[in-house]
Structure 1
Amino acid sequence: MSEQPIKIGYCLSLSGPLASNGKTARLAHQIWEGDVNRRGGLLGRPVQMVCLDDQTNPALVADLYKRLLDEEKVDLVMGGYGDNSVAPAMPLIMERERYLIALMALAVNATLAYPNYFVMIPTGPNPNAALTEGFFDLAARQTPKPASMAILAADAPFSKNPVAGAKAHAGRLGIQVVSEGRYPLATTDFAPLIRELEAIQPDILFLCSYLNDSAGLLRAVDEIGLKPKMVGGAMIGPQNGAIKGSLGPLLNGVVNYEYWLPAPEMMFPGIAEMIDNYQSRAEAAGADPLGYYVAPQAYAQAQVLEQAVAGTGSLDDAKLAEFTRRNTFRTILGDVKFGEGGGWAQARVLTVQYRNIVGNDLAQFRGIETQAVVSPADFASGTLVYPYANAKARV
């Protein structure tokens, strides 16, 4: 290989509220970097990932990408994890006409319509709807159907789109939104927010939260004894192994989205090896001990970049974007084809109900026995236990 590396620059939240997920993505990228370099690199050159910490602070992102492009002189850029790290970078990316594959950002490109943007997230062409479609379709099939919904969401950019999707679903199903509250990400005491809902007694408690706040909200629901018929929806927390282990039985009954679990139908070529490698290094990296949520998406993100460079024989942004629009990519998440707006052409979001959890042993979350896939039907491993109180009590 040539000694001159191909430098790929991007930001991740390696500190702050999203550090666990950021470190998970970083480790997955490092595994890919090692794999691709063992195969001879790209275009006969070694690959070097240049990752900067955005501290979970969207205000830092634009300047960090400017530094990557103008000072670090990276050859290619990738998008960071989630809306907070991706949306603030887009004005610069568009101005410089760069090719960008983002990681798990939801509907960032919906209004921008930037043609060189792509995103590794299985929410398809209508991400706001797809994220919680399974949750609400399951609700609509219950007898009697839930009639009311309360929304609690973190006051952060990422929550805007899932909440919009939830309201749209509620509208089409005739479910009345009776309360909508937002809280700062720094919140640690969630009891007052939950107590306010006691008088309302909503049928659905829709939560749109990050990591520690997901845990805080579910602890408050348990302590106060609120008994909605469904709880969950758009929490970025229960997917994380450390949060799973911390909450243990408090997760019982919660219905939420996941993107990948080790179900037989989702064991695509290469994913078992990547997960084994990841889990052997996760503790030392301070990352999610399981890695099921972010790591497969992050590795597949890099696989798309790798195949685009190899397929074009180029680092030219326009050529890479055109190749990505036209081709299907073989990844550890299966075959991925991008559609309008740069998202997956077809959605594949899982809706999961956590149940039969006993104690806090992380080992019980390595399979799907405690996290039943209840939607879509093609991947289902169980049926919804309803209402929430029944699933919470069942062990």
Structure 2
Amino acid sequence: MAATRREFGTLVAAAGAAVAMPAVWRSAHGQGAPIRIGTTISKTGALSATKSTLTGLELWRDDVNKAGGLLGRPVELVTYDDQSAVAQIPSLFSKLVDIDKVDVLVSPYGAGLSAPLMPFIKQRDLFTIGMFALAGNDATRHDKFFHSAPWGPDSKINWARGFFDVAKQNGCSRIAVLSADVEFAKTAAGGAEQIAAEYGMTVVYKQSYPPATNDFSSILRNIKAQTPDAVFVCSYPPDSTALVRGLSEVGIGDSVKLFGGAMVGTQYASLLTSLGPALNGIVSFALYAPEPTMANTEMTAFLSRYEKVAAEQGLDPLGFYIPPFAYVAGQLIAAAVTGAGSLDKAAMAKVLHETEVKTIAGPARFNAIGDWTERRVLMVQFRDIKGKDVEQFRQPGRQVILDPPSLRSGELVAPLAKARSS
């Protein structure tokens, strides 16, 4: 029998709490078979920096088991290393479903690795939580797929809309768009052009570059010659690093108020501590920042626990980007199972489609294809960074939230030249 609304709220709070209440198992032999959650983790390969996904899931598993499990049954994680390779995904997930007999799936990290999974889960009608699979269900439209990250509806276009909202608020009308020649960046750049047109802005410069580019001096000079107000950048960690260093060397001109937007890498401690003060003035996306407007005891408690594990395992010491949303993935599973009172996939999906779920990242509601109904992607401006000590990035005022308005902790410092020198 499904839980009542009141019982459901109580059970979700117990199952998903950041610090679980102590519980005594009835007995090892008295428990039912474990509820098995299957996924792949990029422990090796180009995406190995995302392996902290597993830490977030493990912290949730430990919490839920300490609180008595789900439906009185312990939770077990079944994982394989996908080696960051798309070719590994079909066979590994077939194994999880057909041999390991998992009850629930969590997608691999990112849209690229998740793409070959989507037809499989649609065909098999499987309940799945997406891990950073941006716009991953837009084409498949599987009704039992739910994102753990708050990209919002129509995320293929809208996930970085906040950059253009800030640009519009600050009188920007001339936009330059710079993107790596890879799928994610090209998609982001295409969305940027659509939003710019919607806002009546003119794209005065558009350029893609090979992903191995490490010298942006000529591109930056070309952008400078077009005197844009804002430069929207869609880059990956190596080119994000090279671009920021290029800015320090050749500049971008006095016209630019806003630079950044979709710069992957600025969410990780390794890049932040590598670039240090060179980041000042840059605007990029984030999903969490330690600003007063995001103060949340559950998130603070989670990050405190994560940091201890990260120090032991050599993971990203901050853990702001991926680990919390792996924990959220677990909380969504807990809410679905507890609310349905069973592992019936249709009933679980019905719960998430109809119920607001409390998570460490805030309340989550979902549309028909599992997008968060409220986009909660942050645009932050790096400020007052001195030296390369990681501890400063845990302090407020270093990643000032410009958007969304509900979480804003400060206004844009512009022009960019001023923000970089202040």
Does 2:239 correspond to 1:210? no
**Aligned residue type for 1:151:** L
Residue number in structure 1 paired with 2:22: none
1:300-322 CA distance string (max 9 Å, x none): 11101012112212222222112
Residue number in structure 1 paired with 2:175: 148
Q: Distance in 2 between matches of 1:287 and 1:154?
A: 29
- Cα pair 1:107 1:128 within 8 Å, conserved: yes
Does 2:339 correspond to 1:311? yes
* Structure 1, 186-195 or 240-249: larger mean CA deviation: 186-195
1:248 to 268, 276, 289: 276
**Aligned residue type for 1:15:** T
* Structure 1, 43-52 or 24-33: larger mean CA deviation: 43-52
Does 2:337 correspond to 1:302? no
- Higher Rg: 2
Q: Secondary structure at the match of 2:133?
A: coil
**Aligned residue type for 2:41:** L
Q: Distance in 1 between matches of 2:290 and 2:35?
A: 33
Residue number in structure 1 paired with 2:397: 369
- Cα pair 2:146 2:371 within 8 Å, conserved: yes
- Cα pair 1:258 1:352 within 8 Å, conserved: yes
- Cα pair 2:280 2:419 within 8 Å, conserved: yes
Q: Secondary structure at the match of 2:141?
A: coil
1:216-248 CA distance string (max 9 Å, x none): 222233233334432111122111122111111
Residue number in structure 2 paired with 1:175: 201
1:193 Cα deviation after fit: 4.9
TM-score w.r.t. the length of structure 1 is 0.91
* Structure 1, 91-100 or 283-292: larger mean CA deviation: 283-292
Change (3 A) 1:265 1:166: same
Change (3 A) 1:212 1:281: farther
1:19 to 48, 53, 61: 48
Give ranges in structure 2 of 5+ residues lacking alignment.
1-27
1:347 to 365, 375, 378: 375
Residue number in structure 2 paired with 1:320: 348
- Cα pair 2:291 2:399 within 8 Å, conserved: no
Residue number in structure 1 paired with 2:3: none
Q: Secondary structure at the match of 2:240?
A: helix
1:291 Cα deviation after fit: 0.9
Change (3 A) 1:146 1:287: farther
1:374 Cα deviation after fit: 1.5
TM-score w.r.t. the length of structure 2 is 0.86
1:123-169 CA distance string (max 9 Å, x none): 222323442222112212334x341313223513x334422321111
Q: Secondary structure at the match of 1:352?
A: strand
**Aligned residue type for 2:36:** K
1:3 Cα deviation after fit: 6.7
- Cα pair 1:9 1:77 within 8 Å, conserved: yes
Residue number in structure 1 paired with 2:91: 63
* Structure 1, 233-242 or 67-76: larger mean CA deviation: 67-76
Residue number in structure 2 paired with 1:35: 63
1:270 Cα deviation after fit: 1.9
- Cα pair 1:6 1:74 within 8 Å, conserved: yes
Percent same amino acid at aligned positions?
38
* Map 1:209-248 → 2, pairs under 5 A: 209-227=235-253, 228-248=256-276
Residue number in structure 2 paired with 1:288: 316
**Aligned residue type for 1:356:** D
Change (3 A) 1:118 1:180: same
Q: Distance in 1 between matches of 2:320 and 2:336?
A: 25
1:24 Cα deviation after fit: 2.0
* Pairwise CA RMSD: 2.2
Residue number in structure 2 paired with 1:7: 36
Does 2:361 correspond to 1:333? yes
1:171 Cα deviation after fit: 0.9
Please identify runs of 4+ aligned residues in structure 1 that moved more than 6 A.
none
- Cα pair 1:279 1:291 within 8 Å, conserved: yes
Change (3 A) 1:188 1:271: same
Q: Distance in 2 between matches of 1:69 and 1:183?
A: 40
Q: Distance in 1 between matches of 2:391 and 2:297?
A: 23
- Cα pair 1:128 1:164 within 8 Å, conserved: no
Q: Secondary structure at the match of 2:36?
A: strand
Change (3 A) 1:42 1:184: farther
Q: Distance in 2 between matches of 1:58 and 1:191?
A: 34
1:297 Cα deviation after fit: 1.4
- Cα pair 1:17 1:211 within 8 Å, conserved: no
* Structure 1, 233-242 or 190-199: larger mean CA deviation: 190-199
